[in-house]
Every structure is written in C-alpha cells, then in structure tokens.
A and B are shown apart, each in its own frame.
Chain A
Amino acid sequence: MTDTVARAHEAGKTFANPGVSGAGQAARPAPLLAVHNVEVIYDKVFLAIKGVSLEVPEGAIVALLGSNGAGKSTTLKAISGLLGPERGQVTKGTVRWRGQDITRLSPPARVRLGIAQVLEGRRVFEHLTPEENLIAASTPIGNARRVRELVQMVYDYFPRLYERRNAKAGYLSGGEQQMLAIGRALMAEPRLLLLDEPSLGLAPVLVEEIFRIVQRINQEQGVSVLLVEQNARAALDVASYGYLMEDGRVRMDGPAEVLKANPDIQEFYLGGGAGRTSYRDVKHYRRRKRWLA
C-alpha cells in the first residue's frame, strides 16, 4: 500500500459518516444502510466479492467506484436482494437497514422498506410506454391517487419523459431510458436509491444533466443515493463520500474531496496524467495496469 493510499484511508476513518456530527461512538444511531463484511458467491463456486463493508448515512450521496468486474454491481444486488434471480448468494456478512438485518429479505420486501435499484444498462420495460413503466413500478403503493402524484413528480423531474409518455420505452434514446429507469425507481417512494452506472454510454452533457437531477432528488426528496460509477470524476462531483472497489474488496474510502485529491485515484480514475486526455487512452491504460496489484 502506498503512502497516499494509507493517508486517504486514515482521512476516511476520520471523516466517515458525514451525516452524523458530534455524537460519540456509543450514541451513534444506526446508519440508513450498513453493509458489513459481505461475501457473495455466484453459482455456488465463483467468489465475486470478498468481505465488503460500506455505509450510507441518511441523506447522503455516496459513490462506489471501481473498474470492470470489481464487484460493484454485485454489492448493489446484495443490498437490493437481486442476487437470487442471478444464482448468487450472500454467504457471509450482513446488510442492515436502520439497524435491522435485511440480508435474507425478498426483493419486494426491501423495496417496501425503501430500497430501489436502478439496474446497470437501464433495463426499462421495452414494450410498455414510459407511463406504463412508471405505473408497473407503483406496485408497492396502495393508494391510486398517490400513484398519480408520483407519476407527476417524475414528469416534473424529467419533462422529456412526459413528452414521450406514450411511445414504446424500447424506442427511447439511451438518455431518456436512463431517466425512465431512475423515474421508475422513484415510484416506490424509496429512501435509498441504488444507481448502477447511470452514465454508461451517454454523452457528457447528458451525464451532467442526469447527475444534476439526481442531486436535486437527493436534496428535495431527502432520498439517499449509493452511486456506482466508473466515471469517477462525475460521481465524486456529486457525492460527499466515496468507496473504491478492486477485485471484490473495498481498497480505499474517504470523503469525495480527499479521494479527488489522491494522486493514484487521479491517475487511474480521473484520467489526470499529463498528455492523456482522450477517454479511450484512459480506458486502455486502466485495463493494462491493475490497481495496487
């Protein structure tokens, strides 16, 4: 471990849980989400994450960074309960929601508690219209009037979805589909939004627009966000705290400012090095050399 990494780690410990101020260790209330030492095995043989721990405090935006195959999506699925349909299993550790152990809860039960995941690759219901996508996702809401209010709220955040509300969702643009996927997750009135690579394949302007809206949702609705990204710069701009995963483990964590200032992170994830400006170069470089390997 390099010095800088160790420093960032220390800093992380000091500044961890930015939502809680002043309270002593004993009086600290349980965070909204606490993942403790979770291990996930796919198909009974493949060890995908190896003891991941992280926290999301109430009201925070937390970034989860890392390159391809680091285990980011797996971590999110362990939180939302979607490992079952993927033949994966949490074999160790716990996922706690406001202190309550939810490691074995069914996905719909977790959504009712307030956890909604936006899957990698958007995964809108292609043959349904955007409006039907939203209504389909309102299953946990009992009251029909509330459903209409929520649909309206989503349209307010994403006016473009309103314009295209009667088209087939499969024919929306990538950006519109991402908006729909986020809007759809809002239909369950979540307290925590798990976003898996919302910037994937989108033009930078669009990424900026979507991240701004996510920030507004966080501030106006008080929804906490766990944001998985390979686009570390965009993620650390909106997040207050970040975790960096590598090879199934959390390698580093700390306040966003500290991570952004970390030279290793700059080199690997912010494309900072001199003369390296094209994204393609960064990607190539990232593939060749592995973090702390």
Chain B
Amino acid sequence: MSDAILEVDGLRKTFGGIVAVDGATFDIAEGSITGLIGPNGAGKTTTFNLISGFYEPDGGTVRYDGRDLQTIMRPHRDETVIWGGASGLTAGTLGGVVGLGPLGLGAAPAAGATVAGAALGAGGYLAKQRLTQRRPGHTNSRPYMLAREGLVRTFQLTRELGDMTALENLMLAPQGQAGENLANAWFRRGAVAEEEASVRERAEETLELLEIDHLRDEPAGNLSGGQRKLLELGRVLMLEPRVILLDEPVAGVNPALTEKLMARIEALRADGYTFCIVEHDMEVIMELSDTIIVMNEGKKLVEGQPDAIRNDEAVIDAYLGVG
C-alpha cells in the first residue's frame, strides 16, 4: 500500500518469558482513523510503545513515512557534540595535567599531550558511535525524535505534569520554541515574549475546545481522570503532529464530551491528521474508525471495516463475546 504512513512488519517484543507482541503486521493509511482493539493483555499498549519509540523491539520493523524508525532515532547532532566534546575535553585535560604534574614534562610536551588526549577522546567516541550504529540488530530509543517528526502518542495511564498548571502543560508542547534555548531566554527576550503570547493563545483555544478552560490555572495533579485524558489529548494537538496514537482516549470522559471529542477527531482527520486509536468502548471505536485491527496474544487477528469486524466469528470468540 503506497499511501501507508505507518508500516508495521513482524514486530516482536518480549518481557522475560512473556511475548507481549508476537509478529504484529499491519499498515496504517495516511489520513485514516484506525481502531486497534483486542482483549486486555493483547499487546496494544506495547505496540504503541514500540511504534512511538519508547520500547526497543526484539524483532521486526516499523516504517514511518517510508523511513525506518531506527534510522530516524539515530543519535542527533546535539548529543554527538556533547559526548564527543566531553570525551575530548576530559581526555585532553587529563593528558595535560598528568603531563605537567606527575610526569613533570615541559610546557610544549604537555601541550602535545593535551592535544593528543583531546583527539583520542573525541575520535574514540565517534568511532565507537559508528561501530555501534552499524552493528546488525542495534536499536535506538529516542522517542523525542519521532515526536519531532510528527509521530506522537498519548498514554493509557495518563502522565500529566502534576506541579504545572493545565495551561503550562499545553504550552510546553509546541516544537522548537525559541525560548527553550537558554541563550534566547536571556538575550532575545522580546522575540521570546512574542512567541510566548501566541503559544499561550493557542493553548487557551485548545483548553476551550476540550472544555477544560475553567481549569486553566489548576495544577494538573488536581485534575480528575477524564480531565487528564483531555489534557493529554490537548497536549499532543498542540504539537501539530501528522500521526496521533491515542491509548484509550475517552476512558473516564463523560458521554456528552465523548461525542464532541469524536466529532473533533473526525474534523482533524478531515484536515489530514492520521489517527490510530486503542479504545474499549465499542460504540465509539466502531463509529469512528475506517479500519479496525483486532489484536490477540500479540498478533493481528483480523483487519477490516467495522461492520465486517462486528460479525466476525473469530473476533466474537476472542473479544466481543466476552464483554
């Protein structure tokens, strides 16, 4: 399928003896809403953790927008500069100090020792980095790099930033804010303040949209379960992503608001967002989804349109019949 934005192929993850995800294979089409359902313990959340980079897979691949996740999550420049620089600096200083002090060398040989140490340190780090990245089966876990590329997720067990207000939770999210750089926070305060005002405005709009604007200045830790779900949804919306993985987004949200959220998700899909949603509320997921993927015991059981899934014998046996 050429319009698949996510291609999951033979994904595998084990925890000790438990095989949580066992060769799951499916595609998610760009601009679609895909429902991911299955009994508790089927491996849905683990699949989300693998797709969003929080877990390192034991096998299989995920491609996002045609690129392998592992390629996207390779160490980025900041990190390489910090580590390479630090290794060089440490080795160089050690070379210089040991040369001057205990070895009692003159100034010139000590300077030589410093330079040699620095080169060895930085070079050694870079070489080690190259080698590990080339090793077959090497995996990286840098989920933030996926989020930067527009692949974001919410958490089944909500993770709000409890000390921070609802508004701040949302204002944190937008990518590449100039004020996140300390130098800008000090020296370009005008520009930062301007940007901050527009981020604040968007965050307030999002709060209104989710009908939690009255909680604007409430520490997120004081929010109820359903309100936290909404806050998390708002947070990923602030990121302006391409693909959103929602893990049980309406658990604990009241029915009236659930209706509104569904309408909102539909509208966002019409704008080009792609959704993959884990949800136990069958009415919601059947109504919302274009495609439903049913998982059981870490594998895809069946995939199809909601109507077909509703009548599928295997699904009724594994899942629907139980509830």
| A joins B in a complex | no
Chain B residues near A (Cβ < 8 Å):
none
